[in-house]
Amino acid sequence: MEDTTAPIATLLYSILALPIAFMILYWTKVRKDRRRNETGEIEYKSLGHALTFFIIEGLALIGSLSILITAVSGIVRYLIYVYA
């Protein structure tokens, strides 16, 4: 099936998706750094708090990586379309 979107639109969406993915990654880094104590270890109040943190961080990382893969593939698709 042929893609009906304009190649420039695909490129623009892909470029706009990159900062979103990097913001998600930065958010998880800041969130993890807030949990560190003086010795550099991450502390949790309870097991439920730790599991919630791991689930949220895991979903954020998986989401940001999927956004990055989609954005890079859109940029590569544009380059192939224009220069091939």
pLDDT tens digits along 11-21: 999 999 999 99
Model pLDDT for residues 24-47, shown as the tens digit of each residue = 999 999 988 888 888 888 888 899
Count the helix, strand and coil residues of the chain and give each as a percent rounded to the nearest 5: 75, 0, 20
pLDDT at 60: 95
The token pair that represents 59 in the structure block: 């979903």
pLDDT at 2: 57
Domain ranges of the chain: 14-83
64 pLDDT tier (thresholds 50, 70, 90): very high
57: CB partners within 8 A, 6+ apart: 28, 31, 32
pTM equals: 0.80
